[in-house]
Copies of this chain bind each other. A is one copy, B any other.
Amino acid sequence: MDTRFNEIAAVIGDPTRATILWTLMEGRAFTATELALEAETSPQNISMHLHKLVQAGLLSVESQGRHKYYRFSRKEIAYALEGMTLLLPRPDQTRQRHDEPDQPIRQCRTCYDHLAGKLGVGVTESLLKQKIISLKDQEPVLTRRGMKWFSDLGIEPRALMEQRRSFLRTCLDWSERKHHIAGSLAAALLNHMLAGDWLRRTGGSRALVVTSRGRKEFYEHFRITI
């Protein structure tokens, strides 16, 4: 195990490869040239690095015409890389940074079956602010007002509550280090967004794109600018 850990550490340890991996966190597949541009290096060099990453089982390739598309070989890769952000020096939690007040939300993806990333955290914060959900002993609960809100949206909380699976809980977001909501209610909300074409899944990955309709809806419902 020791040596295998060393191998994998060596593979991600190179700055060029780390950049490749971080770029692929966006969720979609990239061509070799795109990645070379992103990592600011030559085609030969990127080719060598991509070869190593594929060899190591981190990436998979798909040829389309004269292009080769690289992406994570399985979704666990993205989770592990996100988890590595825990290794970053812990930011000082006491003072909040307000340098970039209205930064548009970039990171947008799913976490199993619910909305994660900056957008997931943003939606959760808005739900709290609007008192659609509230915190009781750190655990999220649906308020009376929230019952109506979801019902108006076409989601029946009562039906979900009767299911075996957990109804509403929080899930720690690796990259944001904040919580977002999970559970059947959160899954239903994501489904609503996908069904209503606020968001679209991109090529089998965990990444989502916000449609122009979505932009409008996210602002109207959550005052979130994307």
Contact = CB atoms under 8 A, between A and B. Distances in A.
Interface of A: 1-2, 4-6, 8-15, 17-19, 21-22, 56-58, 74, 76-77, 79-81, 83-90, 136-137, 139, 164-166, 169
B57 A89 contact: yes
B88 A83 contact: no
Contacts of A77: 86-87
B10 A15 contact: yes
A71 B119 CA distance: 36
Contact of A15 (B9, B19, B81, B84): B9
- In the complex this chain forms, how many copies of it are found? 2
28 contacts: A2-B19, A4-B88, A5-B84, A6-B18, A6-B19, A8-B87, A8-B88, A9-B12, A9-B13, A9-B15, A9-B84, A10-B14, A11-B87, A12-B12, A12-B13, A12-B87, A13-B14, A56-B87, A57-B88, A57-B89, A58-B87, A74-B90, A76-B86, A79-B83, A83-B83, A83-B84, A83-B86, A137-B165
A22 B7 CA distance: 12
A15 B57 CA distance: 19
Given A9-B14, A76-B87, A139-B165, 5 more contacts: A6-B15, A9-B15, A10-B18, A57-B89, A83-B83
Nearest to A77: B87
Contacts of A15: 6, 9-10
A79 B88 contact: no
A14 B88 CA distance: 17
Contacts of A85: 5, 80
Contacts of A88: 4-5, 8, 57
Nearest to A9: B18
Contacts of A83: 79-80, 83-84, 86
A80 B74 contact: no
Contacts of A169: 166
Contacts of A86: 76-77, 79-80, 83
Contacts of A19: 2, 6
